[in-house]
Chain A
Amino acid sequence: MSTEAAVKLTRKDFVSDQDVRWCPGCGDYAILAQVQKIFPELGIPKEKAVFISGIGCSSRFPYYMNTYGFHTIHGRAPAIATGLKVSRPDLHIWLVTGDGDGLSIGGNHLIHALRRNVELKIMLFNNRIYGLTKGQYSPTSELGKVAKSTPMGSADHPLNPIALAMGAEATFIARSIDTEAKHQQETLRRAAAHKGGAFIEILQNCNVYNDGAWEYLKAKDSKADTQLLLEHGKPMVFGKNKDRGIRLNGLTPEVVTIGNGVSTSDLLVHDEHDQTLAYLLGRMTPPNFPTPVGILFSTERPTIESLMNQQIQDAIEKSGPGNIDTLLRRGDVWSVE
């Protein structure tokens, strides 16, 4: 612990010597910048950090971090990272995936990594499109998305990454936005500090194949109305004039305007640790609701790596460290003279 805290590093230490090859203007640049910005503060020695990714534009990320890195295959990064974390719990593993990589081909692995609570910090860059393969619709694209493979619009209902993470019982679930530098940094810091697996959906712009996908959340003049900035212990207020809020009507959240008998004290207060609330928040989508950003849920539960390593320790304590001769001679053994 103390040795880790003692390391003094700067942003530059985490910048690799490789040219960044994303399209100019791609939202991925901003995310890379925030990660490189906060990393020196985390007290993680460079050699103890590992970035693992699948395939996609977003998954090129590890090449640009001057840490250990593994650019794997499409969708499988959570599985590979799980094997590494279980056998090397001393490492700090960050995982980079996309909406196609993590929710389409790799959906299964993502679910299982989350439910196992492997301590991986999973950043899912959601640009609602397949960037690397040049613009097919993705599992998060809106119904009717006109893209290269769907000239008449897509016919499939989109998947909600946050709701999926809740369903998989992730222990830390957050959402941030590529262009919101401060918010992103704070969210990533919190994810890093979380004891357990973290899932962060980062809304990212692909300016080449799906430009403006999140514009309604980002536009300066309207973002106060479309974003619901979550703060633990604070009432859920939003709007340019901070005059709107979320109230619970029976079991259903509703948007209310403050005034006319509605006061802030009638509003829902955000509680990161309230699972039921997190389910409701995860389900809040436009156009009827503002989009919640921030930490939707966090809780603690043992990680799979701590449980598995404990079992090994317990077994060693109980039976002693393995001895090859004993092992060979298990079962019915007999001698021939």
Chain B
Amino acid sequence: MATNPAGGPLEKATQERESVVIRFAGDSGDGMQLTGTRFTSESVLAGNDVGTLPDFPAEIRAPTGTLYGVSAFQINFSNKNVYTPGDDLDALVCMNPAALKTNIADLKQNGILIVDPAEFTSANLRKAEYENNPLEDSSLDKYQVYQVEVTKMTTLALKDTGLPNRSVMRSRNFFALGVVSWLFNRPIEPTLEWIQQRFGKTPVVAEANTLAIKGGYHLGENTDMFASSYEIKPAEIDPGTYRNITGNSATALGFVIAAQKAELPLFLGSYPITPASDVLHELAEYKNYNVYTFQAEDEIAGVGAALGAAFGGALAITTTSGPGMNLKGETMGLAASVELPMVITNIQRAGPSTGMPTKPEQTDLLQAIYGRHGESPLPVIAASTPADCFHAAFEAARIAIRYMTPVILLTDGFLANASEPWLLPSVDDLPGISVDFRTDPQGFFPYLRDEETLARPWVKPGTPGLEHRIGGIEKDYLTGNISYAPANHEQMVRVRHQKVAKITQEIPPTQVKGPEQGKLLVLGWGSTYGAIAAAVEAAQAQGHAVAQAHLRYLNPLPADLGDILSRYEKVLVPEMNMGQLLRLIRADYLVDAVGLNKIQGRPFKVSEVATRIARMLED
């Protein structure tokens, strides 16, 4: 390996690229999530649009070097609009043989592969189930393979720190980050600053990581290992203040800000479950915003405590994933019956049962709409991108309060952990949430309804003169006293339905991206948004009359949806389930829509949607 004899950087060519998809993969203990997040920050500061997807194993500390212990982080960065974390990889960094084995299939032909040869020991190869060392046979010939001595060079760079070998190994990821940062012209200064902030309290660790990342960067700069680096120009991005945000963080913020807007305390009752726990963790940090986080003994108690807090006049929420949703079912029925506001967030994961806890799916839509006993309609709202989780959570809270109803918010494990730059809203632009606690005893009945929304009054216990009892037994239409009268029950069932149906008046006109009528409408909901948007744009660029509509409100559906559906010859509904929205659409509108269904615990690739669009345009 030649170095510049003069000691300065070599003059190297820079190639321009529109966008790059890169994945960092390594052992769970290799710090790939951190590496990925840092690389993301560097990329947004370089002005690119980005989309990210972490992919980590369910096992907390899987044995090192195993195939199931591989943890990965994928980033798509571009000078154009980014909709997804990207399909196939332009570059792949593998910290060990297991990472290579589990990820290589996603690397494009002639893609950049960075491996650390020191890790390809016979023991590691055996754990990764390789019979031959792939670095020594011809199996990697179709890629640009760079054998970067990450382990050796990190050791060398850190030799003066006096750190024991085990600690030195923990800086390997920073060395790799340094190499890749150089390769794609990312500034490492933000990471250097971040290292100081994060590890400043243990200066030796801060120094080690600093030396490692600089070492990696200089390796790229000063050796002839890479002939050229790549430049991805800044994207044209709407002006404003941005922050990179994951879906779970956005969800947490949406609720806090809704509570602030409503001037109510926020109460979260929750029981830890992947991938929902991070919302609990994050909200626990916001106590000074008058946020209560109650870690309950189970999901039933989580939603129960939330319902109790709602009765007391708080903005009450509960967060969970599939299995927890089942446990909350009975309490949701009670909440629907007593008509108290609450948001139940289901961060969907692959089921049934424990399924694949860290993998996303959209398999709980019908459960959200129908999954309770009795006629128990609840509004259902879904988020479509990580940042959109903020707006969806905010809207769910607003609807819950305005209509005095529990609302189900659906996100999923992909949105939860994926991130994207978020144009921070101005607080004043967000709709207000007015709360009107009833205090006047004159003419008060617990179930007297507002004409416009059919909401019943919200009364805080403690209000003199309004003492009353609520409960799950059927109640009189007006007085709320127990009533088993047959006609009254039907009236109550109908009014609970009407109330939810009235929410259509809140739904803005459905945005159709593309021609107002034409050959094909691709209809989606939730996290498939990005893949559909990119695929539809590509088809439009080829001159096809294809449009996209994406639903935020799943129950009730937008009033204009029937009309929109009727304006296209064909309707395609891509979903990460067996066809749940598809079933609703076909049943409600008698449209012969078809499904594109992927149930692999992985988001759609743009190419998968694009291929199907192309086929539907041909037939």
Give A contacts to B, CB under 8 Å: 16, 18, 45-48, 50-52, 55, 62-63, 65-73, 76, 78-88, 90-91, 108-109, 111-112, 308, 311-312, 314-316, 318-322, 324-325, 327-337
Q: Which of B288, B296, B424 has most chain A Cβ within 10 Å?
A: B288
Could you tell me the distance in whole angstroms from the C-beta of A309 to the nearest C-beta in chain B? 8
Contacts A66-B467, A312-B292 given; indicate if A109 touches B301 (C-beta within 8 A). Answer: yes
Q: Are B294 and A83 in contact (CB under 8 A)?
A: yes
Which chain B residues (284-315) contact chain A, with CB distance < 8 Å?
A: 286-292, 294, 296-298, 300-302, 304-314
B residues less than 8 Å from A76 (CB atoms): 300-301, 304, 330-331
Contact partner of A311 among B287, B333, B424, CB < 8 A?
A: B287
- Give the A-B contact count at a CB cut-off of 8 A: 212
Which of B210-218, B240-248, B549-557, B607-615 lies at the interface with chain A? B240-248
Q: Assess A334 versus B242: contact at CB under 8 Å? Given A68-B468, A83-B305.
A: yes
- Add 7 more A-B contacts to A322-B289, A332-B190, A332-B244 (CB < 8 A): A67-B467, A73-B334, A83-B304, A324-B427, A327-B256, A329-B424, A333-B242
A333 touches B296 (CB 8 A): no
Residues of A with C-beta under 8 A to B468 = 68-69
Which residue in chain B gives the minimum CB-CB distance to A321? B288
Residue from B330, B425, B462, B469 in contact with A70 in the complex, judged by beta carbons closer than 8 Å: B469
Interface centre among A45, A48, A109, A332 (most CB of B within 10 A): A332
B112 contacts the other chain (CB 8 A)? no
Kindly list chain B residues whose C-beta atoms are within 8 Å of the C-beta of A324: 257, 260, 427
Tell which of A83, A90, A112, A331 touches B269, judged by Cβ atoms closer than 8 Å.
A83
Q: What are the 10 tightest A-B residue pairs by CB atom distance, in nearest-first order?
A: A71-B471, A83-B305, A83-B308, A322-B289, A79-B304, A69-B469, A79-B301, A84-B308, A315-B287, A68-B461
B58 at the interface (CB under 8 A from A): no
**Which residue in chain A gives the minimum CB-CB distance to B301?**
A79
Q: Does B465 contact A (CB under 8 A)?
A: yes
Minimum CB–CB distance for A64 against chain B, Å: 9
Q: Are A329 and B243 in contact (CB under 8 A)?
A: yes
In the bound assembly, the distance between CA atoms of A48 and B239 in angstroms comes to 52
A79–B344 Cα distance when bound, in Å, is: 16
B464 interfacial by beta-carbon distance below 8 Å:
yes
Q: A70 touching B465 by the CB < 8 A rule?
A: no
Is A327 a contact of B286 with CB atoms below 8 Å?
A: yes
Instruction: Sample 16 A-B pairs with CB under 8 A, ordered by A number.
Output: A18-B469, A52-B308, A70-B469, A71-B470, A72-B334, A79-B300, A80-B305, A82-B294, A83-B310, A84-B312, A88-B312, A322-B260, A322-B286, A328-B257, A333-B241, A334-B45
Chain B positions within 8 Å of A318 at CB level = 288
A297 to B245, CA, bound (A): 51
Beta-carbon nearest neighbor of A71 in chain B: B471
Distance (whole angstroms) from the CB of B304 to the closest CB of chain A? 3
CB-CB under 8 A from B334, the residues of chain A are 72-73
Q: From residue A60, how far is it (CB to closest CB) to chain B in Å?
A: 9
B41:A332 contact, CB within 8 angstroms: yes
Residues of B within 8 A of A333 (CB): 241-243, 424
In the complex, are the beta carbons of A312 and B269 less than 8 A apart?
no
- CA separation between A88 and B310, bound complex, in Å? 10
Q: Cβ of B482 and Cβ of A327 under 8 Å apart?
A: no
At the interface, yes or no: B485 with Cβ under 8 Å from chain A? no
B595 part of interface (Cβ distance < 8 Å): no
Q: Is B140 in the interface zone, CB < 8 Å from A?
A: no
Do B471 and A79 touch across chains, with their CB atoms under 8 A apart? no
- The A-contacting residues of B in range 234-260, CB under 8 angstroms, are 237-245, 253, 256-257, 260
What total of chain B residues lie within 8 Å of the partner, measured CB to CB?
71
| Residue from A47, A66, A327, A329 within 8 A of B462 (CB atoms) | A47
Query: Residues of A contacting B242 with CB < 8 Å?
Result: 333-336
CB nearest to A322 among chain B residues: B289
Given contacts A83-B269, A86-B292, A315-B288, contact A50 B461 (CB under 8 A): yes
A80-B287 contact given A47-B467, A73-B334, A308-B292, CB 8 Å threshold = no
- Residues in B whose Cβ lies below 8 Å from that of A87: 265, 267, 292, 308-309, 312-314
Is B481 positioned at the interface, with any CB of A under 8 Å from its CB?
yes
Determine if B463 is an interface residue (Cβ-Cβ < 8 Å). yes
Within 8 A of A (CB), among B404-442: 424-425, 427
| B304 / chain A contacts, CB cutoff of 8 Å | 72, 76, 79-80, 82-83, 109
> When A71-B469, A72-B334 are in contact, do A45 and B464 touch as well, CB less than 8 Å?
yes
B396 touches A (CB below 8 Å)? no
Q: Is B466 an interface residue (CB 8 A)?
A: yes
User: With A109-B304, A334-B241 given, is the CB distance from A316 to B288 under 8 Å?
Assistant: yes
Flag if A16 contacts B469 (CB, 8 Å): yes
Q: For residue B462, which residues in chain A have a CB less than 8 angstroms away from its CB?
A: 47-48, 68, 88, 90-91
Q: Which residues of chain B in 447-487 are interfacial with respect to chain A, using CB atoms and an 8 Å cutoff?
A: 460-473, 481-482
Task: Collect the chain B residues with CB atoms within 8 Å of residue A314's CB.
Answer: 287
Residues of A within 8 A of B467 (CB): 46-47, 66-68
- Once bound together, how far apart are the Cα atoms of A109 and B286, in whole Å? 27
Given contacts A73-B331, A86-B309, contact A328 B267 (CB under 8 A): no
On chain B, the residues within 8 Å of A18 by CB distance are: 469, 481-482
Q: Report the bound CA distance from A108 to B290 in whole Å.
A: 28
List, in ascending order, chain B residues with CB within 8 A of A79's CB: 269, 296-297, 300-302, 304-305, 308
Determine if A336 and B294 form an interchain contact, defined as CB atoms under 8 angstroms apart.
no
Contacts of B427 in A (CB 8 A): 324-325, 328
> How far apart are A256's CB and chain B's nearest CB, in angstroms?
43
Nearest Cβ on chain A to B346's Cβ, whole angstroms: 19
Closest to A112 in B: B297
Shortest B150–chain A CB gap in Å is 26
Q: Are B316 and A336 in contact (CB under 8 A)?
A: no
B534 to nearest A CB, angstroms?
22
Residues in B with CB closer than 8 Å to A311 are 287
Asked if residues A312 and B301 are in contact (CB atoms below 8 Å), the reply is: no
Check A83 against B469 for contact (C-beta < 8 Å): no
User: Is B176 part of the binding interface, using a Cβ–Cβ cutoff of 8 Å?
Assistant: no
CB distance from A79 to the nearest CB of B (A): 3
Which of chain B's residues have a CB closer than 8 A to the CB of A45?
464
Tell me whether A335 and B240 are in contact in the complex, defined as CB-CB below 8 angstroms, given that A79-B300, A91-B462, A315-B287 are known contacts: yes
Residues of chain B contacted by A312 (CB below 8 angstroms) = 287-288, 290-292
Given contacts A76-B301, A80-B304, A86-B305, contact A336 B253 (CB under 8 A): no
For the complex, give the distance between the alpha carbons of A146 and B296 in Å.
37
CB of B547 closer than 8 Å to a CB of A: no
Give the docked Cα–Cα distance between A127 and B267 (Å): 36
Q: Does B383 contact A (CB under 8 A)?
A: no
Is B44 an interface residue, CB under 8 A from the partner? yes
Residues of chain B lying within 8 A (CB to CB) of residue A86: 267, 292, 294, 305, 309
Chain B 317-328: CB-based contact to A (< 8 A → 1; otherwise 0) = 000000000000
A31→B461 CA distance, assembly (Å) = 24
Q: Which of chain A's residues has its CB closest to B460's CB? A: A88
Chain A residues within 8 Å of B465, by CB:
47
* B289–A327 touching, CB < 8 Å: yes
